[in-house]
């Protein structure tokens, strides 16, 4: 049986290791970090929203129920406007599909324990500095400048994230397409602590958003009664991390835009001052694989901004698709497997990158916009009546099995139809009439 | 005085080292390769076409005349059509400006000797694997996997080309924008040997092109009577490196498209089989500098495809601009110097990348196209009459001091005017009338 190394013990690396171990391969996972089960894990994490694509993968390896213990379902968005009003927007047409809030740190720790139970071997505190693509060698040393030793594997997976070392080696090949690009927006972590009774201060079953157009604050519940929160804010400009630095500036900023948040987080000032500003990268590359030896997976192959909540879900779906391909390839020909994997996943990686990039505007601005809400209502109305003709984009990305590419393509078509519809005179008055329904049908 | 390391002993690295040495700095140049003066240098080089921006830089450091001994002026293109006709197209409006053919290998060897004369120190056979940006450390070892030693400098320049190691370190910073992209076109080197008398088989003062639309063959003279030639051809497709592999396929290809070349190169078959196919990359990144410690220059900062003959010229112009900025900064504040350098050069690096990318079509297809030639004639006509109103794009890029960005912007405007003009009915008959002249004037 082949020996397989997985570089990276993040969520995708560990789930991949479990999946491969279950197929009978010898699997070793390497990570430069020490075992995170012995670490405090905070300061730069955005809570995850696990949705159908993620669960599908965990279900296949038989750990869905166990992991769901860590997660809190969220059926709707709660939009907190600047005048402290809250409006609820269900995520799905039917209103009962949920995305699941889950702490990245807790999930990762739990997955490592599960993987050990399945017999996956872990080498922590073991940085991989380079890879020999042809020979399948990993090079390791405590420090990059020390003498490296090599370890040989039949197959190597780079699951080492957006700054992948394995990909760095592939990037040096001729004809390797590569692009990394940062938003002019950073983020900072906050925590809403549990109340005196240890309970959540807001409903835990809602995805809380305080949209303010060019910036926003979000909160996702943890199982311990707290919320992990993220402030997304431009690096520079009139209202930005650069312009908000002194105690007074921070206080005025929260008082003006997030007075509700200010009350929920007694130590918001200290958290703003202590926590780092993290950046948001989109990374695309091609190819993802090298012969039958090396493959990139998860963020190492396609890093996206977090605004669709699909980064992890896309990585887990990579594993789901790869697993099917391995099972269907009776001779375990890795070159064939990797080729099919790449052909299937690369277009979808690009599509979710595009969808994620676009969704910041929807989250930060449109969710508080009347015309946007009207547009959603028309879509939901129509979709309920003609479920086979219209599934809204968000539902397709989050709650369906359709590919991201298909979602993007159909989404663009739907958008152009809805752009037309929204131009109709007095649409706000006649939106739920048969006339409008006919206009949509005509365009489909 | 500051100690400066230049990583890379290519053309830009060596000229930069001379320029800095002349200002009184201690300069050491590192290169992973052995001294190329002891090497054979062949198989993957495209001969250089040095033009005004390059000469301007060499003039400033006082080595223009010396280097010109190695170069051959080319005033015109010679277009070789498939029926073995040759047409001559002057490069400049006035007809007497020239670009200069020069062998990359010979030039590089000569420049190293000149640099040593100025007191520049060279460390060959010394690979730099990594850089500490904050401390200004270079890390070196024979092999990457060996233990590294470090060497400290006040300032470090990454002149280590399109695959720059210095840039690789910068790329790992947050907010570093990076993009590398390959053409679906590769190239292969050929040599037209001198004739029995040691003379050139074609006129050496012409840039020879055999344009065939999706592919082309070019030849630039060497001082020894030979020509260094390049075949540009798609990797894949009907007529491609992939489809032309067997002896018969190679023979048929040359017989069909380049029968003239076939006669000029007796061993074309062996050269096709032996020489590698090289790739063509465009690389853009930002920022180019790190504080006052590290700066990228030349291909390490902006790698372009070779179709405008400006890759080296752009790199040398980086040095010219940098030199002026250093001279104008009385306190030698490197942070200020690097900031001004980057602000000046980054937009121009992007502009020449765009111009270079677009110029393949002009070289490979349009040069043999009647309407293209008519368009050029109209432009030249108008430019001769109104030199202050119209300088053709090629002249501005190649023979002027205007920035690449300005050239791109004015070029786009001129293109849109000429697109209009070429739509005029019977333009081929009335192209040199006053009416056409008025049409152009009206649009300016």
Q: Which two tokens stand for residue B171?
A: 């790329």
CA distance A107 to A410: 33
Question: How many angstroms separate the CA of residue B112 from the nearest CA in chain A?
Answer: 27
3-state secondary structure of A290: strand
* pLDDT score recorded for residue A366: 74
Contact B179/A175, CB-based, under 8 Å?
A: no
Sign of CA dihedral A68, A69, A75, A77: negative
**Cα three-residue angle B16-B20-B22, rounded to 5 degrees:** 120
**Dihedral, A92, A93, A95, A97 alpha carbons, nearest 10:** -40
- Which positions ≥6 away from A409 have C-beta within 8 Å? none
DSSP B117: H
**What is chain B's mean pLDDT, rounded?**
94
Summarised one tens digit per residue, pLDDT across range B304-338 is 999 999 999 999 999 999 999 999 998 889 999 99
Interface test with B, best of A149, A180, A183, A187 (most B CBs within 10 A): A180
Helical axes A52-60 vs A311-328, angle rounded to 10°: 40
CA distance A427 to A412: 21
Judging contacts by C-beta atoms under 8 Å, the chain B residues touching residue A176 are 180, 182
Interface test with B, best of A143, A145, A164, A179 (most B CBs within 10 A): A145
3-state secondary structure of A227: strand
What's the complex ipTM? 0.83
**Dihedral, A386, A392, A393, A396 alpha carbons, nearest 10:** -60
**Cα three-residue angle B268-B269-B275, rounded to 5 degrees:** 80
Closest CA to B348 of B276, B436, B416, B407: B407
Name the residue with tokens 């694989």: A289
Percentage of residues of chain B with pLDDT beyond 90: 90
Q: For residue B427, what pLDDT band results from cuts at 50, 70 and 90?
A: very high
Structural domain boundaries in chain B: 3-71+102-180+280-360, 183-279, 369-443
* pLDDT score recorded for residue A224: 94
Between B145, B172, B279, which is nearest A163 by CB? B172
A142 in B contact zone (CB under 8 Å) = no
Q: For residue B42, what pLDDT band results from cuts at 50, 70 and 90?
A: low
Closest CA to A124 of A216, A242, A34, A22: A34
Summarised one tens digit per residue, pLDDT across range A334-369 is 999 999 999 999 999 999 999 999 998 888 877 778
A135 in B contact zone (CB under 8 Å) = no
Sign of CA dihedral B322, B326, B332, B337: negative
Helices and strands in chain B, H and E counts: 15, 20
Between B130, B144, B279, which is nearest A175 by CB? B279
CA distance A384 to A388: 9
B146 in A contact zone (CB under 8 Å) = yes
CATH class of A3-69+103-180+281-360: alpha beta
Summarised one tens digit per residue, pLDDT across range B126-156 is 999 999 999 999 999 999 999 999 999 999 9
Q: Tell me how far apart the terminal alpha carbons of chain A are, to the nearest angstrom.
A: 52
The DSSP string of A159-178 is ---TT-HHHHHHHTSTT-EE
Interface test with B, best of A131, A174, A183, A285 (most B CBs within 10 A): A174
Q: For residues B225 and B198, is the Cβ–Cβ distance under 8 A?
A: yes
Summarised one tens digit per residue, pLDDT across range B177-209 is 999 999 999 999 999 999 999 999 999 999 999
Mean pLDDT to the nearest integer, B15-25: 97
**Dihedral, A280, A286, A290, A292 alpha carbons, nearest 10:** 100
Q: For residues A112 and A119, is the Cβ–Cβ distance under 8 A?
A: no
Q: CA nearest B132 in A: which residue? A: A145
pLDDT along chain A (444 residues), means of 10: 94 98 97 92 76 98 97 96 90 91 94 98 97 97 95 98 95 92 95 96 96 94 95 97 97 97 96 95 97 97 96 98 94 94 97 94 79 92 94 95 96 96 94 94 93
Length of chain A: 444
CA distance A37 to A110: 8
Summarised one tens digit per residue, pLDDT across range A189-234 is 999 999 999 999 999 999 999 999 999 999 999 999 999 999 999 9
Give the count of beta carbons closer than 10 Å to the beta carbon of residue B430.
12
The DSSP string of B128-182 is EEEEETTTTEEEE-SSTTSPPEEEE-SEEEE---TT-HHHHHHHTSTT-EEEEEE
* pLDDT score recorded for residue B41: 65
Name the residue with tokens 């501005």: B396
Name the residue with tokens 């372009």: B304
* pLDDT score recorded for residue B14: 98
A163 in B contact zone (CB under 8 Å) = yes
- Backbone phi, psi, residue A390, to 5°: -150, 110
Contact A175/B144, CB-based, under 8 Å?
A: no
Q: For residue B367, what pLDDT band results from cuts at 50, 70 and 90?
A: confident
Q: Which two tokens stand for residue A213?
A: 């157009």
DSSP A299: G
CA distance A326 to A347: 20
Q: CA nearest A282 in B: which residue? A: B177
CA distance A379 to A93: 9
CA distance A289 to B73: 46
Contact A180/B180, CB-based, under 8 Å?
A: no
* pLDDT score recorded for residue A43: 55
Q: For residue B165, what pLDDT band results from cuts at 50, 70 and 90?
A: very high
CA distance A133 to B380: 54
Q: For residues B46 and B230, is the Cβ–Cβ distance under 8 A?
A: yes
The DSSP string of B394-407 is HHHHHH--S-HHHH
- E-strand ranges in B205-293 read 206-211, 216-221, 227-234, 278-286, 289-290
Q: CA nearest B150 in A: which residue? A: A145
Sign of CA dihedral B232, B235, B236, B239: positive
Residue B315 gets the label, from left (phi > 0), alpha (psi -120 to 50) or beta, of alpha
* pLDDT score recorded for residue A362: 82
Question: How many angstroms separate the CA of residue A165 from the nearest CA in chain B?
Answer: 10
Summarised one tens digit per residue, pLDDT across range B241-274 is 999 999 999 999 999 999 999 999 999 999 999 9
Contact A279/B177, CB-based, under 8 Å?
A: no
Closest CA to A34 of A9, A57, A17: A9
Contact B180/A175, CB-based, under 8 Å?
A: no
* pLDDT score recorded for residue B44: 62
Contact A147/B144, CB-based, under 8 Å?
A: no
Q: Which two tokens stand for residue B419?
A: 């697109």
Length of chain B: 444
Name the residue with tokens 């219209």: A390
Between A130, A171, A177, which is nearest B144 by CB? A130
Contact B171/A180, CB-based, under 8 Å?
A: yes
* pLDDT score recorded for residue B174: 86
Judging contacts by C-beta atoms under 8 Å, the chain A residues touching residue B181 are 177-179
The tally of CA atoms less than 13 A away on the side-chain side of residue B10 is: 21
CATH class of B3-71+102-180+280-360: alpha beta
């Amino acid at each position: 049986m082949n020996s397989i190394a997985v570089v990276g013990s993040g969520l995708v690396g560990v789930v991949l290791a479990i999946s491969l171990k279950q197929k009978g391969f010898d699997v070793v996972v390497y990570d430069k970090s020490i075992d995170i089960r012995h670490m405090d894990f905070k300061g730069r994490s955005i809570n995850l929203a696990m949705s159908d694509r993620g669960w599908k993968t965990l279900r296949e390896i038989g750990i869905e129920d166990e992991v769901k213990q860590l997660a809190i379902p969220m059926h709707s968005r709660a939009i907190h406007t600047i005048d402290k009003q809250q409006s609820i927007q269900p995520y799905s047409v039917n209103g009962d599909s949920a995305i699941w809030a889950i702490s990245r740190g807790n999930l990762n720790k739990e997955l490592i324990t599960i993987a050990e139970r399945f017999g996956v071997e872990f080498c922590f505190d073991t940085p991989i500095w380079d890879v020999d693509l042809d020979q399948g060698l990993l090079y390791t040393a405590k420090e990059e400048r020390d003498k490296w030793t090599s370890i040989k594997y039949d197959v190597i997976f780079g699951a080492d994230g957006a700054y992948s070392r394995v990909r760095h080696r592939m990037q040096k090949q001729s004809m390797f397409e590569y692009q990394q690009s940062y938003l002019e927006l950073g983020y900072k972590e906050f925590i809403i602590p549990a109340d005196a009774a240890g309970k959540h201060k807001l409903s835990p079953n809602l995805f809380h958003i305080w949209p303010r157009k060019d910036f926003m604050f979000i909160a996702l519940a943890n199982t311990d009664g707290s919320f992990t929160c993220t402030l997304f804010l431009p690096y520079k400009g009139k209202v930005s991390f650069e312009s908000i630095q002194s105690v007074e500036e921070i206080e005025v900023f929260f008082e003006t835009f997030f007075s509700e948040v200010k009350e929920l987080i007694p130590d918001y000032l200290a958290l703003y001052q202590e926590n780092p500003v993290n950046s948001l990268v989109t990374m695309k590359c091609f190819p993802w694989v090298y012969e039958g030896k090396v493959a990139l997976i998860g963020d190492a192959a396609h890093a996206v901004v977090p605004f669709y909540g699909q980064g992890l879900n896309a990585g887990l779906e990579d594993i789901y698709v790869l697993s099917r391909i391995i099972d269907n390839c009776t001779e375990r020909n890795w070159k064939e497997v990797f080729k099919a994997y790449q052909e299937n996943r690369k277009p979808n990686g690009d599509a979710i990158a595009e969808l994620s990039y676009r969704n910041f505007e929807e989250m930060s601005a449109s969710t508080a916009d009347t015309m946007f809400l009207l547009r959603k209502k028309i879509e939901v109305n129509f979709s309920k009546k003609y479920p086979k003709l219209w599934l809204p984009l968000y539902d397709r990305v989050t709650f369906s099995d359709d590919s991201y590419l298909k979602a993007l393509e159909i989404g663009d078509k739907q958008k152009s139809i809805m752009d037309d519809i929204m131009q109709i005179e007095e649409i706000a008055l006649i939106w739920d009439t048969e006339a409008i329904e006919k206009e949509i049908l005509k365009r489909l």
